[in-house]
Structure 1
Amino acid sequence: MKVVHLSTYHTFGGAAIAALRLHHALRGIGVESSVLVQQTEREEEGVQGLASGFIEKKIAFARFAAERAYFLFHEKDKSVRFHFSPLWAGTDVSAHPLVREADVIHLHWINFGFLSLHSLEKLFALGKPVVWTMHDMATFTGGCHYSRECERYLTHCGFCPYVRKPSATDLSSQVFEQKKKLFSNAPLTLVSPSRWLAELGTRAALTKHLTSLAIPNPIDTSVFKPASSSEIDLNPAKKWILFAGVNTQDPRKGFAYFKEATQLLKDRLEDWGIVVFGKTEPDALTDMGLEVKSLGSLPAHEVVKVYQAADVMVVPSLEDNYPNTVIEAMACGTPVVGFDSGGISEQIEHKKTGYVSQLYSAEDLAKGIRFVLEDADYEQLKANNLQVIRQRNSFGVVANAYLSLYQKLTEMPR
């Protein structure tokens, strides 16, 4: 079985990391898996970049710039600039050797100038089974990665809240029509890490005629695992609340609710602290109610140590598919508190591995943190996390689920 994964990025972003982990998991069970990306960020077996030379990299950047410039004329404001992908610019990879030799073509996150709608048309024309792991909603919308409260994708996109002049024939409507034609007879099977997104795929007007399955993202439990002692410089007398991958500028990530929740915990100032890593604005970390230790951007091996050192992680995203950070923490035995949103409530088993808080409630978020750090049998929570990850997200379990799907698709008459 030969499978080629198509992903814009090699290691940048959650979708790219999930795709790469699946590649490693499949190779671990004997599948001839390869990954084709815009350009590689390091030498890695089975991973190839389209752009390797100076000129090729400039052309790749030009495609990215052209894609963004095209949307620039339509965007509502700069806050949504990278939240909508019209799939206008891309390259034709249908003749690439990895694609030609593959039994199955596996799409991941392919936006920002890597593949266009025309690129997809060329791939579908090969007649090979195509699996598309949806890492956000963009597959079945007129371009937005997350629809927020808009449900027009269930009937027909238009009057889009992301564009400057919403109308029945705006950019989202035009992209919707192009996708409708493209998907009508495509040899396409949809997969989502979460049941939440898979179910939306079965309801969305563009994809309701397609099979939409849920297979969770994998995690390497030989890397993400508990540690006997902390290797991070944190006061051992305190319990530490982790906020991972901080992006205080994106309202969807719910940082404001986390900040309000920690202010409600200020009675534990002497006993608890907050540790953060990733993208953040220093001013945003003031008035948190508890001591804050910001570690900035970290390499992967240091990130694991932070998960191991933390006592609880909080993921207050208001809309998210299947954050890698949740299963990374769980694999290290660290309980997670998150909102009842998207696929997060599927990742966390309420009061068994962590706490699922009422959406938009900072009070319940704070209650969840108190539950983990004060009320629960912490060692039992930790043991439950490890068991769930082993049974649901380990490399072998996820790789075999995908292999079963590949085999079924390749045995079907074309």
Structure 2
Amino acid sequence: MQVLHLSTSDISGGAAIAAYRLHQGLQHLGVTSQMLVGKKSSDDKTVFAPKSNFSKALGILKPTLDCLPLRFYPGCDITRLSLSLEWLPDRLAPKVAQLTPDILNLHWVCGGFLRIETLAKLNQPIVWTLHDMWAFTGGCHYNQDCDRYTSSCGNCPLLQSGNNWDLSHWVWQRKAKAWQNINLTLVTPSHWLAKCANSSSLFQDRRVEVIPNGLDTEQYKPMDKRLARELLNLPQDKQLILFGAIGATSDSRKGFHQLQLALKHLSQSGWQENTDVVVFGSSKPENSIDLGFRTHYLGYFHDDIALALVYSAANVMIVPSTQEAFGQTASESLACGTPVVCFDSTGLKDIVEHERNGYRAKCFSAEDLANGIAWVLQDGERWQHLSRRAREKVEQEFTLELQSYRYSKLYEEILHFGDREGIKSSN
């Protein structure tokens, strides 16, 4: 069995990292797995990407070109808009044919990498791992409070169009026409995203399986806290609140505003003296952001062992997102024995068990987010129980071996029994 993963990138971004981990996990199982990407950052010989300078330059330009039609909607801010149209031509079909896979696994394929209509040109059965909501919307990656993806989109609040026949409806219509006869099985990393896919007008009759993202638990594991802090030059005598800030200040979905309010509430409640904040995924900003605590900015980390060191150094990890397809930073933190505080929302509900390995705050209460942080930190014996359960949760449900095994069985079933379109999973 030969599997080919299609992804805009191999290790750049959370969805790409999840795809690459699965690719490696399948190889460890003995499955012949390859990746075809638009941008390659690894030195993995089983990952294929455009080699010519022209193709590389075009790949850089495509995300900008893909957004050009949005300029007809002056009410929307293109620089902050998370919306993909995928109308540009691509050369994927002949490249896929050259690699002769038995089955295709799509991942995050936006940014001009894969044109919507190209899926109908691919002859192999397709498994599509959804890393956000884009596949079943009129172009947005997360719906926020809009439910128009359950009908046919249009009148898009992101576009501020006020028109049922706007660009979002055009994208939806293209998907509905191009994908109606393809051999497609969907996989989501969380039950929340599966429910959304099942309620969508595009995928309501498709098979949807839930397979959580996996981790290499030999790399993501608890490390000695004192040593981790010494190596990262962090204080030994403080409780440390950790936050991953990649894209947080520019994306309201990441919940940075609620985090700021929660931390200020905590600082006014007597926690300031013995608690610091640690931020990774961001360098210290030129214009200082007041978080109410002394803040340590660690910058960017690009390898798993360094990230495991960061998680192990902290006492609690905060993931204040309002919507997450899964919540990879949350599972990584739990793997390292660090409890997680989040909102009781979306994909994070599959990862964080309330008052067992962390705390799920009321949606979207900054005050209860602060309560959750305090609850995790204020009792040392309770923290030890939370930490042990955090690691257990990952070992039971989120190992890379388990994820890879589930995917390999799904591939084998699809190849052996053929298309089961319309049969829904019990997940």
Report the TM-score when normalising by structure 1: 0.95
Letter in 2 for 1:13: G
The residue aligned with 1:45 is: 45
| CA distance in 1: counterparts of 2:161 and 2:135, whole angstroms | 23
Which one is further off, 395-404 or 155-164?
155-164
Letter in 2 for 1:192: T
| CA distance in 1: counterparts of 2:378 and 2:199, whole angstroms | 41
Return 5+ residue gaps in structure 2 as ranges: 420-427
Cα-to-partner distance string for 1:381-409 (whole Å, 9 max, x where unaligned): 11111111011111111001111110110
| CA distance in 2: counterparts of 1:337 and 1:272, whole angstroms | 16
Determine whether 1:130 maps to 2:139.
no
Q: 1:284 to 1:152 in 2, by over 3 A?
A: farther
| CA distance in 1: counterparts of 2:200 and 2:89, whole angstroms | 25
Letter in 1 for 2:76: D
The residue aligned with 2:411 is: 406
The residue aligned with 2:363 is: 359
The residue aligned with 1:304 is: 308
The number of residue pairs the alignment matches comes to 410
Contact 1:5 1:35 (C-alpha < 8 Å) held by counterparts = yes
Which one is further off, 133-142 or 290-299?
290-299
Determine whether 1:175 maps to 2:171.
yes
Structure 1 residue 287 displacement after superposition: 2.8
Contact 1:36 1:48 (C-alpha < 8 Å) held by counterparts = yes
| CA distance in 1: counterparts of 2:280 and 2:319, whole angstroms | 13
| CA distance in 1: counterparts of 2:173 and 2:352, whole angstroms | 37
Give the secondary-structure state (helix, strand or coil) at the position aligned to 1:11: coil
Question: Which aligned pairs between 1:146-225 and structure 2 lie closer than 5 A?
Answer: 146-225=142-221
Give the secondary-structure state (helix, strand or coil) at the position aligned to 1:156: coil
| CA distance in 2: counterparts of 1:9 and 1:315, whole angstroms | 24
Structure 1 residue 94 displacement after superposition: 1.8
Structure 1 residue 79 displacement after superposition: 5.5
The residue aligned with 2:239 is: 239
Question: Percent identical across equivalent pairs?
Answer: 36
Contact 1:154 1:205 (C-alpha < 8 Å) held by counterparts = yes
Which one is further off, 96-105 or 232-241?
96-105
Letter in 1 for 2:116: L
Structure 1 residue 318 displacement after superposition: 0.9
Question: Which aligned pairs between 1:8-407 and structure 2 lie closer than 5 A?
Answer: 8-49=8-49, 51-74=50-73, 76-78=75-77, 81-96=80-95, 100-123=99-122, 126=123, 128-228=124-224, 229-230=227-228, 231-246=231-246, 247-266=248-267, 267-279=270-282, 282=285, 286-300=289-303, 301-375=305-379, 377-407=382-412
Letter in 1 for 2:16: A
| CA distance in 1: counterparts of 2:134 and 2:325, whole angstroms | 12
Give the secondary-structure state (helix, strand or coil) at the position aligned to 2:378: helix
| CA distance in 1: counterparts of 2:79 and 2:162, whole angstroms | 14
Letter in 1 for 2:148: R
Which one is further off, 77-86 or 39-48?
77-86
Q: 1:97 to 1:83 in 2, by over 3 A?
A: closer
Give the secondary-structure state (helix, strand or coil) at the position aligned to 2:35: strand
| CA distance in 2: counterparts of 1:242 and 1:270, whole angstroms | 17
| CA distance in 1: counterparts of 2:190 and 2:412, whole angstroms | 22
| CA distance in 2: counterparts of 1:163 and 1:281, whole angstroms | 33
Give the secondary-structure state (helix, strand or coil) at the position aligned to 1:45: coil
Structure 1 residue 98 displacement after superposition: 6.4
Contact 2:84 2:140 (C-alpha < 8 Å) held by counterparts = yes
Contact 2:70 2:78 (C-alpha < 8 Å) held by counterparts = no
Cα-to-partner distance string for 1:92-131 (whole Å, 9 max, x where unaligned): 31222566511110000000110011222212xx1x2101
| CA distance in 1: counterparts of 2:119 and 2:191, whole angstroms | 25
Q: 1:280 to 1:150 in 2, by over 3 A?
A: farther
Contact 1:26 1:399 (C-alpha < 8 Å) held by counterparts = yes
Structure 1 residue 90 displacement after superposition: 4.2
Cα-to-partner distance string for 1:207-233 (whole Å, 9 max, x where unaligned): 101011111001111111111232221
Structure 1 residue 299 displacement after superposition: 2.8
Cα-to-partner distance string for 1:30-87 (whole Å, 9 max, x where unaligned): 11111110121131131111x2221221222333332122333346432565500111
Return 5+ residue gaps in structure 1 as ranges: none
Contact 2:353 2:360 (C-alpha < 8 Å) held by counterparts = yes
Cα-to-partner distance string for 1:278-306 (whole Å, 9 max, x where unaligned): 14773775332211111222332432221
Contact 1:239 1:311 (C-alpha < 8 Å) held by counterparts = yes
Give the secondary-structure state (helix, strand or coil) at the position aligned to 1:265: helix
Cα-to-partner distance string for 1:288-338 (whole Å, 9 max, x where unaligned): 221111122233243222111011000000111112111111111111000
Q: 1:40 to 1:118 in 2, by over 3 A?
A: same
